[in-house]
Amino acid sequence: MNNTFQGKSMNEKKKVAIIFGGCSPEYKVSLASAYSIICHMDRSRYELVLIGISPAGAWYQFDGDLEKISLDTWCNDKDCAPVTIFPERGSYSLLLLGEDRVERQNIDVVFPVLHGRNGEDGTVQGLFELFNIPAAGCGILSSALCMDKERAHRMVRAAGISVPESFCIGLNTDRAKVRAQAEIIGYPLFVKPMRAGSSYGVAKVFHEVELLAAIDTAFLYDENIIVEQNIPGFEVGCAIIGNEELTMGEIDEIELSEGFFDYEEKYTLKNSAIHVPARISEELTQKLKRTAATIYRVLGCRGFARVDLFLSDTGEIVFNEVNTIPGFTVHSRFPNMLKAAGMNFMEVISAVIELACEGNGEGHDGH
């Protein structure tokens, strides 16, 4: 890994712009992740620049008490000033627009902690790549592909990895046709927005009478949805950090007593438990890691991502999805899988930042 960046030596602090909030249903999840990252970042190596995006889409540099981020009271006139990117490619700087001054703020790298749409889907990645500012995590193409469940499934299937049977629905798709296709897949099945995270709008449908209501709910989050086969078994995940050389966390296992791993379960674990390492054989663990690494590379991932898989009752590995900006609190699956493999939270954050600083931001998707 390179030890210098933009002329900086190992002993100079890099200025890291942490971007949080955003125009997404996952706005509050982003605040929680960003707060954890900020609190656990190695301040001997990094200087922080905090950029908050309001739910309405306004960008501000935040300079207040860090607790206000976790409490969602950060966006106020006292602590915030409008900010934008300095309009010059390769300038590596932001433009702070104060009431009586305009100030240029240099940065070295950005760390988008933006879950879901308008942040995890390649949009923000494209903005920073346009200005050649290195950004932590996956680039434009891989972010967009991983966010689109149907296209991600196509590419992974082409690589010879099993995916659930599914079909897609648009707003104008005939509902009678939907019911017929659902019968072919069989119940129970899942209805999911095509591009959403944290299980927003996702429903497990057990009977045809529930199908249309689930579809209407999913359409609240995206204009396209996917109806997907239920895989009997359980879900596992693999945390991955790396560009060319990959560091793998321990496989985790989601144990459910009822229902599915929806938004409430992800943040309360009321009817579920997460086991790290997963309660499986070493042989199967290594097979899952190899499969996750293949998916990571097939979808062009860089920096970090969490690959989610199903392990069926028959022992088959089936692809679920890739989260290119997974939850990043101390309780989240991604850092805890890496912790089980020997990396503490601070080391994970540092590794993600340093990987973003490899090269100069060009060709961030690695193609």
359 has a pLDDT exceeding 60: no
For residues 158 and 300, state if they share a domain: yes
The range of the structural domain enclosing residue 239 comes to 145-162+232-356
**Structural domains of the chain, count:** 3
For residues 150 and 264, state if they share a domain: yes
**Residue 46: strand pairing partners:** 14
Q: Does the residue 225 lie in any domain?
A: yes
The answer to whether residues 56 and 355 touch, using CB atoms and an 8 Å cutoff, is no
- pLDDT-derived band at 215 (thresholds 50, 70, 90) equals very high
* pLDDT on residue 200: 82
Q: Does the residue 365 lie in any domain?
A: no
- Per-residue pLDDT, averaged over 238-260, amounts to 89
- Per-residue pLDDT, averaged over 13-38, amounts to 95
Over the chain, what is the mean pLDDT?
A: 91
131, 164, 262: which is closest to 204 by C-alpha?
262
pLDDT digits 0-9 by tens, 107-116:
999 999 999 8
- pLDDT-derived band at 361 (thresholds 50, 70, 90) equals very low
36 has a pLDDT exceeding 90: yes
Q: What is the pTM of this model?
A: 0.90
For residues 247 and 209, state if they share a domain: no
| Spatial separation of the C-alpha atoms in residues 191 and 200, rounded to whole Å | 11
* pLDDT on residue 207: 95
* pLDDT on residue 137: 97
- pLDDT-derived band at 197 (thresholds 50, 70, 90) equals low
223 has a pLDDT exceeding 80: yes
The answer to whether residues 25 and 35 touch, using CB atoms and an 8 Å cutoff, is no
For residues 170 and 251, state if they share a domain: no
342 has a pLDDT exceeding 80: yes
* Sheet containing strand 80-85, strands side by side: 102-106, 93-97, 80-85, 59-62, 46-53, 14-21, 109-112
* Beta strands 14-21; 46-53: pairing state: parallel
| Spatial separation of the C-alpha atoms in residues 303 and 21, rounded to whole Å | 21
- Per-residue pLDDT, averaged over 139-144, amounts to 96
8 has a pLDDT exceeding 50: yes
For residues 46 and 87, state if they share a domain: yes
What CATH number corresponds to the domain at position 110? 3.40.50.20
For residues 131 and 90, state if they share a domain: yes
- Per-residue pLDDT, averaged over 247-262, amounts to 81
- pLDDT-derived band at 292 (thresholds 50, 70, 90) equals very high
What CATH number corresponds to the domain at position 352? 3.30.470.20
For residues 105 and 151, state if they share a domain: no
* pLDDT on residue 366: 43
Q: Does the residue 208 lie in any domain?
A: yes
More confident: 55 or 259 = 55
- pLDDT-derived band at 12 (thresholds 50, 70, 90) equals confident
**Residue 50: strand pairing partners:** 18, 62
For residues 225 and 236, state if they share a domain: no
- In the listed set 203, 229, 255, which residue is the last one of a domain according to the structure? 229
For residues 221 and 251, state if they share a domain: no
* pLDDT on residue 25: 87
- pLDDT-derived band at 270 (thresholds 50, 70, 90) equals low
Angle at 30 between CA 28 and CA 36, to 5 degrees: 110
For residues 345 and 203, state if they share a domain: no
pLDDT digits 0-9 by tens, 84-102:
999 999 899 999 998 877 8
